[in-house]
Amino acid sequence: MEERKKGVMFLSVILAYYLVTRLWGISSGMNAYMDYDEGTYLLMARMINHGHLLYSDIYAVHPPLFYYLLALWLRLFGDTYVIGRLLSLTFGLLSVIVAYFTGKELRDWKLGTAFSALLAFDPLMIHMNTVVYHESSIEFFTVLSLYLFVRYFKEKRPLFAYLSLFAAGVGSASKFTILPYLAALYLVLLLATDERLWSYTSGVSSVLFSPRQGGVILLSYLFMAALVVVAAALFPSNVVRDTLIVPGLHPITFLDQRISVGLLLIIWGVLVIYAFRLSYVKKLYTSIVLILKRWREAFLLASFVILGKALVELPLGVLVSTSYMNQTYFEEGSRYPLLINLFNLFTGVLSNLRGSSPEFLYSYTPLLLLIALYAFFRLRHRTSLNTPLANLAAANFFFYFFVAPVLPNMRFLYPMVLVFYLLLLDSIMGFSAPKRKFLASFTVLLLALSVLDVGFMANMPAGKLSLAWEPHTKSLRDDLGVYLNSHNISRVNFYSINPMTAYYLHLIEPPYYVDNFGLLYLQGVSGVEFLNALRKENVSRVVVGTWAYAISKGDATLMRNYGELISALRNTSTLEFAESYSDGGVIELYRLQNLSRNLTFSTFGGKLSIFINGTRIGLFHPLTGNRSFGERTVISKEGSGYNVVFYSSNDSVACTLLPLDRGFSLECPDVDGFLIEFQKEPVLLSNGIPVKMARNSALVACLGASFRICGEKIEIKGDSIIVKGNVLGVFLTY
């Protein structure tokens, strides 16, 4: 009874910490760099509540469980993004509670407390439990499945094995990132039905997690490095240099480099056989025969997986649309190539450390500390790994890193991480070390994580970390909403590239096109095709924001398709409203038209920006004395012209921008001049001759474009041009 009271007391403290950290996160506002997914799921849930069907009316790339749970949640408690985030908080809260009982079943209340505390203190889940993402539901179904997995091996009751697979099967109807865990769980439970199969499996995991494995890996890398050097010396060609690399130390940038991954794995496999004196051919043959003989058990276990998935996906997905499987599984499966996950994960870690941005590794911290703690105790004490958990961890490692096309991101790998959390915690508690040492070690672990949590929560919203955060997101959206209201612009037939803007401002857009990332990236729809599709849906206005510009800096497909979309908007549509801040936050409203123009303008980085043929040429802002007005800029269309307000840190100036034939004029009565910043050093021409200074007007050549600037006095200084006077003219030349 005393132990039960202690467990309840510690769990209560953990839950209190959980609620404090999560409720803070939920109320911390919006982040345009990361709330695309939130907006997608919230907007889809709203559309479901309005009678639209996923996969038929709405293009969706994930299975239906989370979407429909979110729709029901919003219907019951209110349709706001804060209410939506509370669903993730609830899933996470249940996960912490189930984690306690999982550890308690595996060993005792102390392990339960440690496991639940690790989930509550995990900085990754502090974030995931406070946003409308699938990950909190995946966390819950994984922990629930682990609880039933532990019960099965403790009590040897097949019912718990079936329920464990059923829970993971239901979880897989939320997001596909749990599928590698589900495959590993199924394999381990199947192998556990036969003593010989189980002994072979346990032997494999004991080899993989042996302390000697570190030496084997190090030796493998030494041999691989030597092979790369010899090959480059013998065949000094670009093909050899680009193909033969040391995976994990060198980024894998194209598929032919998987040859190097295969070579490294072969070297590692040969060294493992040598180091552990393995005899595997006969065991492998025997294992295949035994598995085939146990087809009934295999079928029965699989039936519970299928049942869990079918209860959700059959009525809400398969029977709704013939394209369901293609949208949710086949297109997602092509997103990331096989075999390279582990090595690109390792490369990313090293890159962040070398690049002086270690905060990017915040999500790895709990696992790194646990491994360090395990190694610390292993120096002087002995322990044994829990066999079922070790087998499950090994199987997860194999499926996540070498079979599944899952991005090597911690939130996508989290089901596997949870298995390793439990395995390491149980192993640490199995050491024959003094209780004081355990208590001190876990206290240090939790203190380190709590300090990380505080730093993460305090500094990320303030934009002090390298992690992407846009602190002005809500105010930008609110300002756009004010403009729409003040100009009596109907919110029907809109489209926002970031769905969170559409959700927050209650813009009504065509349901099928909510997830433009899925269409532009996974389906490969071009930007022009996408914009033409919106026109066919009678979309009248398109909202572009911070996320669209950030995502277009990704891989080649994203740069091409999103770049085409944004350029087509600029060159064929009319800008009605735009606002930007110097820290990168931006929002723009375009009215779709069939115009054709080469010189366009907007705002970016808190300044007025000019584009020629879709390429940004320069950034403009006014100057008055020693004051520079480049912290924030707001552009709003009024009649045939625009009101433009430039802000400094404590002041502002109002200007009038008039579109003219082949250009525009900017009149600012209260300024001395303008500063134009170029991405590349411009050339100033007067009467065709390069000059440093000109009066009235001068031709500027930069980035392959030529345009004329008019003002009282034009002076070039490095990468910038200073224009004196309170009227600036910019005209495209042909």
- pLDDT tens digits, 165-222: 999 999 999 999 999 999 999 999 999 999 999 999 999 999 999 989 999 999 999 9
pLDDT at position 640: 92
| Residue of 717 and 388 predicted with greater confidence | 388
Separation CA 143–CA 76 (nearest Å): 26
Region 38-65 average pLDDT = 97
Same domain, 272 and 303: no
pTM value is 0.94
pLDDT tens-digit map of 555-600: 788 899 999 999 999 999 999 999 999 988 999 999 999 888 889 9
Q: In the chain, what are the helix, strand and coil shares in percent, each to the nearest 5?
A: 55, 15, 25
Task: Indicate the SS3 state at residue 460.
Answer: coil
Domain count for the chain, please give it: 2
Same domain, 271 and 372: no
Separation CA 107–CA 150 (nearest Å): 10
The neighbour count for residue 299, using CB atoms within 10 Å, is 10
pLDDT at position 734: 65
Give a yes or no: residue 661 inside a domain.
Answer: no
Of 459, 475, 506, the residue at which a domain comes to its end is: 459
Same domain, 154 and 233: no
Give a yes or no: residue 724 inside a domain.
Answer: no
Same domain, 176 and 120: yes
Same domain, 265 and 300: no
Same domain, 309 and 255: no
Give a yes or no: residue 623 inside a domain.
Answer: no
Q: Are strands 494-496 and 541-545 parallel, antiparallel or unpaired?
A: parallel
Q: Is 584 left (phi over 0), alpha (psi -120 to 50) or beta?
A: left
Structural domain harbouring 261 = 213-276
Asked if 378 and 280 touch (Cβ cutoff 8 Å), the reply is: no
Give a yes or no: residue 418 inside a domain.
Answer: yes
Separation CA 502–CA 512 (nearest Å): 14
Percent of the chain with pLDDT over 90: 74
Q: Which of 558, 525, 546 is nearest to 469 (CA)?
A: 546
Query: Any idea what DSSP says for residue 408?
Result: S
Give a yes or no: residue 109 inside a domain.
Answer: yes
Kindly tell me if the per-residue pLDDT of 334 is higher than 70: no
Q: Residue 560 burial (CB < 10 Å; 0-12/13-18/19+)?
A: middle
Give a yes or no: residue 88 inside a domain.
Answer: yes
Same domain, 268 and 317: no
Separation CA 681–CA 454 (nearest Å): 44
Same domain, 247 and 116: no
Q: Which phi and psi angles does 724 have, rounded to 5°?
A: -80, 150
Q: Which of 331-335, 465-469, 685-689 has the lowest mean pLDDT?
A: 331-335
The residues that bridge with 282 in the sheet, in sequence order, are: none
Region 613-630 average pLDDT = 90
Region 17-46 average pLDDT = 93
Same domain, 106 and 180: yes
Give a yes or no: residue 290 inside a domain.
Answer: no
Kindly tell me if the per-residue pLDDT of 309 is higher than 90: yes
Same domain, 77 and 223: no
pLDDT at position 1: 56
Angle between helices 414-429 and 135-155 (to 10 degrees): 40
Same domain, 183 and 255: no
**Torsion sign, CA atoms 211, 216, 218, 219:** positive
Of 459, 477, 499, the residue at which a domain comes to its end is: 459
Region 354-382 average pLDDT = 90
Same domain, 352 and 257: no
Region 450-473 average pLDDT = 88
Kindly tell me if the per-residue pLDDT of 457 is higher than 90: no
Give a yes or no: residue 694 inside a domain.
Answer: no
Of 393, 424, 459, the residue at which a domain comes to its end is: 459
